[in-house]
Each structure stands twice: as structure tokens, then as C-alpha cells.
Amino acid sequence: EPVSIRAQFRVKGLQPELWDAATGSIRPLPGFEQDGETTVVPLKLDAIESAFIVFRKKGTPASGDIAANYPDPSVIAVNTPWQVRFESDAVKRGPAETVTFAEPKDWTLSEDPRIRYYSGTAVYTTRFTLDDVLQNRKWYLDLGKVSAMAKIKINGQYAGGVWTAPYRTEVTPYLQPGENTFEIEVVNTWKNRLIGDQGLPEEEGIVRSSHSEWKADSRLQPSGLMSPVRLLGF
């Protein structure tokens, strides 16, 4: 789960920076306090997130407010329908036709067994219109919750991949005023297909493993895009 903490470091007189190993980004954390020989830094960590806090430059406290380190972004909801294309070969057995999702949802909640037990790649596509609010900010496409990983294209250009929380990547250079095409390629693991085939007659179940702990009634692994997609501007 996301957490907020007040981390204490045995250092003084230096400016804290957050180094993100998942993205390679480095940014200062202006909100911190000096308590004798200790520097206190308010931090927010997303689910399973970690970060390096680095002290390398001189600095004096300006504020101990966590909002100084994590300002609230501008939010644009991507609320147009998604066209979803599944692979429909003999093994993966997704729908042969393109499926429309009014909003992203967990594949395992679908009443269609071709989607509920699907394992493989699905490509989500939508068109979304933007205006000039994009100026003077860095914009990130935030996928919310994904299983297991995704690649993002904006207007036909590769914008990055995501594999851990928070599932977002910067897309500023790829956005344009007016209509934009968002394409998100999502892949999950083989678990759901293995479970699905356990419930089929033996001659129909073609996906097998030399060792599997899963049965036909095992809990499915949440898959696909599972949250509303948003643009976040900082």
C-alpha cells in the first residue's frame, strides 16, 4: 500500500534529492527540516516503491511540508472508450474480434471465458482530444493499476514501458494539441490460461505445465488495465 513517512537521516546542512532507479530521474526535495544533527524529509512511497535519498549539495530548510516535495498534479481523465485487440491463435484463444471497453476493467471479471482466462498480449487503442492546457508542465500517462506490464505509444511513437507501481511514464514530447492516439500494449502471465485449461475436457486443454500448483477453481490473477487512465501534469 502507499505510505507517507517522515524519514530521518544523520546528516545536516545538505539538500535532499530523490533518485528514482526505475526511471533514472533525479529531483530536489525542497520540503525538509533540520533537527540538530538530523535531517527530516517527508516522503511518499507508492506500493512496493523504493527510492534513493541523496545528499550532495549544501542547502537550508525552507519548509517541512510534504506538499513541497509532492505537489498535487493537474489531472485530465482519459475517458474515451478503448478498442482492445487480443491475440486469437489456437493457444491464447482470445476474441477474434476487437472488443470495446467503455473503461478499463480486470479481464478476470469478464463473463466471456475468452477474456477471463486469456494469457498473452492485448493492445488497447483510443483517440483523445487535448487543448492548450498542456503548456508549461511535464505530463505523465498514469495507467493506475496494471498486470503485469505495459508499453505505451503516443501518436505512433514509443513513449516508454511500465512494470511496477506507480504505472506511469512521461509523455510530454509525444502529445499534441487536438486529437491524440493512445496505444497501450499489455501482457500478463500464463497463470489464467493454465487455470482455464484445467476446467476443459482433456482433449480441449492444450496448455500444460510439467508442474502446476493451480486447479480449475484456483483464484485467477487480475490482468490487463484495471484502473481509469489519466494524464497528470506537474
User: Coil, strand or helix: which one is 112?
Assistant: coil
Which residues have C-beta within 8 Å of that of residue 123, sequence separation ≥ 6?
Answer: 84, 85, 183, 184, 185, 186
What tens-digit pLDDT sequence spans the chain (234 residues)? 889 999 999 999 999 999 998 888 899 999 999 999 999 999 999 888 899 999 999 998 878 789 999 999 999 999 999 999 999 888 889 999 999 999 999 999 999 999 999 999 999 999 999 986 677 889 999 999 999 999 999 999 999 999 988 899 999 999 999 999 999 999 999 999 999 999 988 888 888 787 878 899 999 999 999 999 999 998
Taking alpha carbons only, the member of 139, 145, 156, 74 closest to residue 104 is 145
Report how far Cα 63 is from the mean position of its chain's Cα atoms: 30
- Taking the CB of residue 22, how many other CB atoms lie within 10 A of it? 13
Per-residue pLDDT reduced to its tens digit, 16-54: 999 998 888 899 999 999 999 999 999 999 888 899 999
d(CA 133, CA 152): 22
Give CA separation, 216 vs 49, 92, 201, 205, 223, in Å.
33, 17, 11, 11, 17
pTM for the full predicted model: 0.88
pLDDT given for residue 133 in this prediction: 60
